[in-house]
Every structure is written in C-alpha cells, then in structure tokens.
Structure 1
C-alpha cells in the first residue's frame, strides 16, 4: 500500500467511524448529549463539535496547499473556527448533516491527491498566529490521527452512556 492508498483508506475509515459514532449518539437525549462527562471537551456533543471544528481548521489550511485548492474549494464559504471548544452546532441533527458533507469532501479531496503532492511542505499559521512549515504527508497523518484519538474518547463516552458503537478497528476495512 502506497501513501496515497493509506490516505484514501484513512478518509474512508473516518467516514465509516463517524457514521457509527453519530448513529450511537442519535440514540441519546439532548440532555445526555450535553451532559458534562468530564471529558476534555466536556460532553459528547462538545467532542463531536471539536472534531468537526478541528477538521475544518486543518482542511482550510490544506486548501492553501497547491495540490488541494480545487478539491477543497467548497470550504471557502465557511469561516475558520476561532475556538475549538465552541458549540458551533448545538443540534446533533444539524451537526450530523454537516459532518456527512465534510466526510464526503475529505474522501473526494483524498482521491484528488497524487504521490508527489505528499512530498511538498505546507506553510501555515496555527490558531495563535505562529507560522509553521511542515511536510504535507506528516500533517495528513496528524489530521487522521487526531480524528481517531477523539473518536476513541467518544466511543468511551458513548459506551458509558449505554451505547456501544461496535467494531472500531481499521482492520475491518482492510481487504
């Protein structure tokens, strides 16, 4: 498996896992979704919002990469988040619709990448305005790892709330 195939696999895994997490979250009441569970982002809804906001921040950065501009053009109408702890979507249904759109965008974008694109560097500024210059492939690995990390938290929170999301292993998607 080459790096492009790895990125495509991670994009597919991201979508698959988000569907599972959102299906489990949909079984909870609004109060259960908002309940402070002493997680880093407080609630299940807070953590779901964080993942969407974090993905948006990174995708808007990736849109500045020469190889990504056209595929990520639909993000141009979305403002960059300024706070990764905000509840940008207070309603799970609205968040789920946006998440599904974002996941499709990630898959389409991943399919537009080419191997030489991964060797370039990305110049960007973090949310505090500090300039950074990092290898694009490493940033993609971080992007997908960040999603997996917080979905791990979500699966624990959902299990504690009485809803098992089922199999979460990437292995399930590998032929």
Structure 2
C-alpha cells in the first residue's frame, strides 16, 4: 500500500467517523450539545467546531502548496481563516454538519489527487500565532488526520458522558480482511 493509499484510507475513515459523530449529535438537544463538560473546547459542540476550525486552517495551508493536488483545494482559499482555535464557525448543528460534510468531500478529493512527488516535498506556512515553519508535506498530512482522531476521541468521551453511544470507532473496521 502506498502512502497516498494510506491517506485515502484515513480520509474515508475521517468521513465515516464524522458521520457517526454528527448522527450522535442529532440525538441531543442544542443545550445538551452546548453544555460545558470540562473538555478542552468545553462542550461537544465546541469540540466539533474546533475540528472544523483546524481542518479549515490546515486545508487552507495545504492549498498554498506548489503541487497539482493543491488545485483541488482552491475552494478553500475563499473561506475566511479562523482567528482562534476555539472559534465557533456555526451556531447551529445543521450548519456545522453541512460544513463538515462539505469539508470531508474536499478532503477526499484532495487526497485522491496527491502524488508521490507532492508527498516528498515540504510546506512552508505560518501557524495561528504567526510563527513560520517548513515541514515535510507528508508528515503534516499525518498530523492533519491524527489531530482529527485525537479530538474525535475526546468527543466520543463527551458523547458517552451524555449517554449517547457513537458505536465502534476503530479504523480496523475499514481495513479489509485479506484472509
């Protein structure tokens, strides 16, 4: 399996898990979603917004990469860049869910366009505080997917505390059995 195929698998996993999270969110009221639960981003809704914020920031950075795959991210350029990691992009679940579904489609299209040449390069960018960095593009993509998984794990705990089971979360469920 190539690195790009691994990323395609992670993009599919990302979409599948986000669907599960938003289905679970639909079982809760707006006040239950917004309830302060002591998480890093406070509530379930705050955590879901943070994942969308971080994805937006990273996809906008990836759109600046000098590669053929960056063309698939041109749709990100027009979006405003979030100013804070805890920024609320949408005040309602319906709007956030529609944006999440759109982001997941953008991610799948972008990852499917990646090439080995893209993955072997670096990306220069500034973090949200303005600090310049230059890092291996493929490693940043690993971070991108790992970050999503990290915060979805937090959201999973928050849903459990709210009495909602989001179901199985393991990537293993998407890896075909080859026996």
- Shorter-chain TM range is over 0.9
Task: Give me the whole-angstrom Cα distance separating, in 1, the residues matched to 2:110 and 2:70.
Answer: 9
Task: Give me the whole-angstrom Cα distance separating, in 2, the residues matched to 1:168 and 1:31.
Answer: 25
> Which 4+ residue blocks in structure 1 deviate beyond 6 angstroms?
none
- 1:141 maps to 142
- 1:70 maps to 71
- 2:16 maps to 16
Please report the RMSD computed on the Cα atoms of aligned residues, expressed in angstroms. 0.7
TM-score (ref. length: structure 2): 0.96
TM-score (ref. length: structure 1): 0.98
Task: Give me the whole-angstrom Cα distance separating, in 1, the residues matched to 2:140 and 2:16.
Answer: 21
- 1:61 maps to 61
Q: Which runs of 5+ in 1 are unaligned?
A: none
- 1:84 maps to 85
- 2:131 maps to 130
1:21-170 → structure 2 map (5 Å cutoff): 21-67=21-67, 68-170=69-171
Report the alpha carbon displacement of residue 86 of structure 1 after superposing the two structures with TM: 1.6
Task: Give me the whole-angstrom Cα distance separating, in 1, the residues matched to 2:36 and 2:147.
Answer: 21
Report the alpha carbon displacement of residue 2 of structure 1 after superposing the two structures with TM: 1.2
1:71 match: secondary structure: helix
- 2:5 maps to 5
Equivalent pairs, count: 175
Report the alpha carbon displacement of residue 119 of structure 1 after superposing the two structures with TM: 0.6
Task: Give me the whole-angstrom Cα distance separating, in 2, the residues matched to 1:27 and 1:82.
Answer: 30
Task: Give me the whole-angstrom Cα distance separating, in 1, the residues matched to 2:130 and 2:24.
Answer: 37
